[in-house]
Amino acid sequence: MEAEFWLQRWQQGKTGFHQDRVMPLLQRHWPALRMPDGSRVLVPLAGKSLDMIWLAACGHQVLGVELSALAVAQFFAENDLVPRISRSRYGVHHHAGNIELICGDVFDLDMQMLADCRGVYDRAALIALPEDLRQRYVRHVYGQLPRDCRGLLITLEYPQHEKSGPPFSVTADAVDQLFQPQWRVERQEHQDILSREPAFIADGVTDLSTTLYRLDHLQDPVAVPSAG
């Protein structure tokens, strides 16, 4: 997916992926990670997700990365936060309390930027990317996270021929292939959700489920040159 695609989605208000509440799957499964207070948690392809507010309220240092300046502006405005702005080679950093949201490209992050992240939360991020980009994303972002980093990944599965993404269907086998052996992958919860997703039904999708995985990084990070 080109950057322009996402920038247009935000400009046109086509942001059906955004949830007006914190994800219950996150609230249910995050505590089991036993992430120490103050840990830095990466939220890649963050949008204006309220999950960042929840993670910050848990006492974490949240590091979100989002391409769209509109999404970033809406995140702070809608949560009554006034960010302090700074700039770096990663993009435009917005700081408010224990949330830092970079308006920039996730592929510009490097090992140095990711070195302190003890946690990662991936909702509608991996599955927002087409297959070729997904591999690059996992290598670039997950590959550069430190050993012992752990987190949660939420995917969708549906017959891909019934609808074109995003969001894309990412099967359990595909998750294993993308992450193992560098990461331990544990499936924690699987739900059939078609009846709750009228837009998928309207598109002719006959089967839709969501899966939450716990991820644990077992290897040392490997530096990848940034895109730019």
Ligand X SMILES: C[S@@+](CC[C@H](N)C(=O)[O-])C[C@H]1O[C@@H](n2cnc3c(N)ncnc32)[C@H](O)[C@@H]1O
- Residues of each annotated binding site: 10, 45, 66, 123
* 46 contributes a contact to ligand X by CB under 6 A: yes
| Residue choice 26, 30, 42, 49 for contact with ligand X (CB under 6 A) | 49
Pinpoint the alpha helices (H) of 12-67.
24-29, 51-57
Residue stretches of the annotated binding site for S-adenosyl-L-methionine: 10, 45, 66, 123
224 burial via Cβ count (<10 Å: 0-12, 13-18, 19+): middle
Mode of pairing for the β-strands spanning 183-192 and 99-103 = unpaired
Indicate the residue whose CB is closest to ligand X. 47
Residue 50-89 contact track with ligand X, rule CB under 6 A, x = bound:
---------------xxxx--x------------------
Quick one: which of 125, 138, 153, 178 contacts ligand X (CB under 6 A)? Answer: 125
Query: CA dist 32 to 21, 151, 188, Å?
Result: 21, 10, 11
Question: Residue 105's closest CA among 54, 45, 63?
Answer: 45
Q: Is 121 in the site for ligand X (CB under 6 A)?
A: no
For ligand X (CB under 6 A), the number of binding residues is 19
Residue 169 binds ligand X (CB under 6 A): no
Q: Using the minimum distance from each CB to ligand X, give the nearer residue, 20 or 37.
A: 20
Select the residue interacting with ligand X from 33, 42, 45, 53 (CB under 6 A). 45
Helix and strand numbers, DSSP H then E, in the chain: 8, 9
Q: 47 near 17, Cβ under 8 Å? A: yes
Measured at the alpha carbon of residue 216, what is the angle toward residues 131 and 129, in degrees to the nearest 5?
15
- The two beta strands, 61-66 and 40-44, are parallel
Span interacting with ligand X, options 46-54, 80-88, 92-100, 205-213, rule CB under 6 A: 46-54
Binding site for ligand X (CB under 6 A): 6, 17-18, 45-47, 49, 65-68, 71, 105-107, 123-125, 128
